[in-house]
Structure 1
Amino acid sequence: MVLRAGQPVRVEFTKWDGREHWAYDGRYLGSDEHGDWIGHPAGTLMARPGRSFVDTSTWLTLMPTDGKPWLVTFNAPGHRLRIYIDLTTVPTWQDTVLRTIDMDLDVVVPRDGRDPFIDDEDEFAEHRELFGYPPDVVTLTEQAAKELLAAVIGEEPPFDQTADRWFDRLAELRP
């Protein structure tokens, strides 16, 4: 299936053992050299078993199309985090649903002047044992986190101002 700009899509995360995790809807915005971009306007429902909320800010999801094991959230100005990167299995499209497995390790870029950092290392270690992550998956996830941290610190594209034009595209699509 070929996705078209403005088309409704869904993002679904699971845990390694198959349990449902976060799920939310968005609109496909297009793709560039960094991957596929999805827009989520303020008012989007985010839900996982046991918790849900309506997000009051606008954000973008970037799925790298080069087989990298992560998804990036770029938050609009005003949100406390500028960038939040979920380390995952390699995300895949299944029709209009973007699916991936959350590996419980994240790279976070705050807006308050604090340095970017790798988050949830304790959760990753705990789940690595609990779920029995294979050694090659552990190595790939840890290496990707280090590379992503360096990229956000260096403000390498797409972690520079690349997302701005995609926020503009989302604004153009909104009714």
Structure 2
Amino acid sequence: MTALEAVRARQSWSKVTPDAPTREELLPLIAAAGRVADHSALQPWRLIELRGEDRVRLGRAISVVRQERDPSTKPLRASLLIAVVASFRPSEKVPRWEQEAVASGVAHTLSLLLDEAGWGVMWRTGDYTRSPEVAALHGLGPDEALLGWLYVGGKPDRSPGSRREVDAAPLLTALPG
């Protein structure tokens, strides 16, 4: 499959099976995803693997933020969650927004690689990603921000749904004037 075919075939899988890649299967995909454009090679990102009881702990932290009595079951929708963290590095040349863009690029590239490897993936976010409770659970430092989680599991024996084609023509414009 070419890169163009992989991107065109990508779908978000809101429901996945309990299967998930092992850490050993993830490592080469993460190494490849880390090749995104990265001004000054700062590697301003890291990933946190959540499995088993970790997902229950996340559900409890989310419920605290949302002031709900029962733990959120959202983190239980996949056997593997990969937290995407922007780890900002001191730099006079590379602003924070650009470093966050690198972390986002790693997450998106990893989702493409996981999809191509046969895994169902969905990038989930929420207002609680930037909460102190959820940050503490993930062990985030003062110069880090949680961008969300890749929910990863097996692809069920059904279509994830349809995606409309992007009409690129109006999105690619010439410089005005």
Q: TM-score range by the shorter chain?
A: under 0.3
TM-score by length of 1: 0.28
TM-score by length of 2: 0.27
Which is bigger in relative contact order (C-alpha 8 A, separation at least 6)? Answer: 2
- Larger helix fraction of residues: 2
- Larger strand fraction of residues: 1
Bigger Rg over Cα? 2
